Structure 1
Amino acid sequence: MNRLLEGRVAIVTGAGRGIGRAHALELARHGAKVVVNDYGVSLAGEGTDESPAHQVVAEIEAIGGEAVVNGADVADFAAAEAMVRQAIDTFGGLDILVNNAGFVRDRMLVNTSEEEWDSVIRVHLKGHFAPLRHAGAYWRAESKEGRQRAARVINTSSGAGLQGSIGQATYSSAKAGIAGLTLVAAAEMGRYGVTVNAIAPVARTRMTEGAFDTSAMALPEDNSPIVAWLASEEAADVTGRVIEIDGSVITVENGWAHGPSRDNGTRWEAEKVGPALRDLLGQAPAPEPVYGTA
């Protein structure tokens, strides 16, 4: 087995179960030393007494790897900074950040409470921002000191954030925000040797089971080889991309791009907008249907 990540140091958030656990194990198999982060919450984000991260660390150690547990709430700004510092202090640096932590509280839009909105946006979107912000500050400092690292960030978006999903307005909004954050971070941090990409994984996990029939869905570990490659030094020329993974199929998402346009030469009059816009819409490709629509 070609160990793509020999000697590299990684943080994987939400790594106690499901896709995050699979990522942590795959990175370790390729030689990475891993900080296994898991806050130990239920699918709805409620605290539990479980400590699944300890089991993942034990699994990594059983295959000869090195790993430590981190129990930070990744959306807590100070805790996210301490998590980055733990990786540096324990393993001597940080090369890879895999932002994966999240949970769902699915509701139709008109039934969504303010608390449900705030909690899902917080853990997904702020939970990506906070670790990325602190890791990015470290990589910038390293670069300025002449120690530029081949740093890699892999964020976790979703088809729900890219195409939308009925009953998941909050989750879809958070995941769309992560895709946007990925583009900006890639543009800003490239000068420090950092690539930033996102995956949109498909898998049978706690988050998907019960929501719909998952019997034909891919397994969590089907996503992780792509993450391992994106985390490697080989992937230096790939940044600012969102990649959907569905079992054996990988798809580069096109995202928003400028389409047909028309310059009126002056401010538009309202009565002229309709014909012009309808003509432009006729030239543009139809959007992909929102998940869950007929």
Structure 2
Amino acid sequence: MTGIVEGRVVIVTGAGRGIGREHALAFAREGARVVVNDIGVGLDGSGSSGGPAEQVVAEIEAAGGSAVANTDDIADWAGAQRLVDTAVEKFGRLDVLVNNAGFLRDRMLVNMAEQEWDAVIRVHLKGHFATLRHAAAYWRAEAKAGRTPSARVINTSSGAGLLGSVGQGNYSAAKAGIAGLTVVAAAELARYGVTVNAIAPAARTRMTEQTFADDMAAPEDGFDAMAPENVSPLVVWLGSEESAKVTGRVFEVEGGQVSLAQAWRHGPSEDKGARWEPPELGPVVARLLERAPEPEPVYGA
């Protein structure tokens, strides 16, 4: 291994299983000290257990690495603060925050309950904001004290957040919000030595095992394109000091493919120079649509 993050202190949320677990192990292999956060809930957000986080810590330590478990709820304001404090108190500082934790409560919009909406928005979107807010406050204080950090935040969006996904209105909205939060945070935190990027991964985890059910068979060529560990190398690189010039970006990762997602952009326009009358706008909209590329289809549409 190259030790590309040797000595850096990294928080990974939702790191007890799936992609988060692979992130934690990958950072440790490259020399980072890792705070393994996982509340240990079920796929639907029920229950809690310290076991998953502790198991990952044991794996890291057995391989000669350094890690500590944390079971705080990242969407709880005080819990997110305790998570950041754990890194600083245990390892002396914080260099990288990887926001990964989440769960699903899929439902078509006409059947979705208020609680199903609120729960997913809380864990994904508020969970990203709460940890980011407390980490940012720490890094701002460091910068003001003359210790400008070389800090990194890697958020987790989704193809559902970039393009939409039928049956996942709550999840799609939360992940779209994370993409928007990423670009705002990148602009605001640059002055403190912090870069903020996001990934939109496609991999087989507890959350996606039904989606990728057809890909469960062992690959003939030995490369499992849906394996969660395929996502982690880019996350580790984004957490390194080498990525200092990359910020405010969203990367899609699937198998061996890495791509840069294109955000909303200003498109074709027509300016009358005065207020439009409603009957005038039908032909205007038609001309704008003719000049614009077709949007990517919503997943499942």
Aligned pairs for 1:189-228 (under 5 A) are 189-215=189-215, 218-228=226-236
Structure 1 length as normaliser, TM-score?
0.98
1:213, CA displacement in angstroms?
A: 2.6
| Aligned-partner residue type, residue 5 of structure 1 | V
Question: 3-state SS of the aligned residue for 2:39?
Answer: coil
Contact 1:208 1:214 in 2 (8 A): no
Partner residue of 2:270?
A: 262
| Aligned-partner residue type, residue 108 of structure 1 | M
Corresponding position: 1:186 with 2:186: yes
Corresponding position: 1:85 with 2:93: no
| Aligned-partner residue type, residue 193 of structure 2 | G
Corresponding position: 1:116 with 2:116: yes
| Aligned-partner residue type, residue 241 of structure 2 | E
Aligned pairs for 1:83-162 (under 5 A) are 83-162=83-162
Question: 3-state SS of the aligned residue for 1:188?
Answer: helix
Partner residue of 1:17?
A: 17
Q: Distance in 2 between matches of 1:214 and 1:87?
A: 40
1:97-127 CA distance string (max 9 Å, x none): 0000000000011110000000000000000
Question: 3-state SS of the aligned residue for 1:197?
Answer: strand
Question: 3-state SS of the aligned residue for 2:215?
Answer: coil
| Aligned-partner residue type, residue 131 of structure 1 | T
Partner residue of 1:68?
A: 68
Judge which range, 209-218 or 68-77, deviates more.
209-218
Question: 3-state SS of the aligned residue for 1:5?
Answer: coil
Structure 2: segments with no counterpart, 5+ residues? 217-224
Count of aligned pairs: 293
1:64-88 CA distance string (max 9 Å, x none): 1100000010000111001101100
Contact 2:199 2:253 in 1 (8 A): yes
Structure 2 length as normaliser, TM-score?
0.96
Contact 2:186 2:247 in 1 (8 A): yes
Q: How many percent identity over aligned positions?
A: 66
1:6, CA displacement in angstroms?
A: 0.6
How well do the aligned residues superpose, as a CA RMSD in angstroms?
Answer: 1.0
Partner residue of 1:56?
A: 56
Corresponding position: 1:28 with 2:28: yes
Contact 1:10 1:98 in 2 (8 A): yes
Structure 1 segments of 4+ aligned residues over 4 angstroms from their partners? none
| Aligned-partner residue type, residue 288 of structure 2 | L
Contact 1:87 1:93 in 2 (8 A): yes
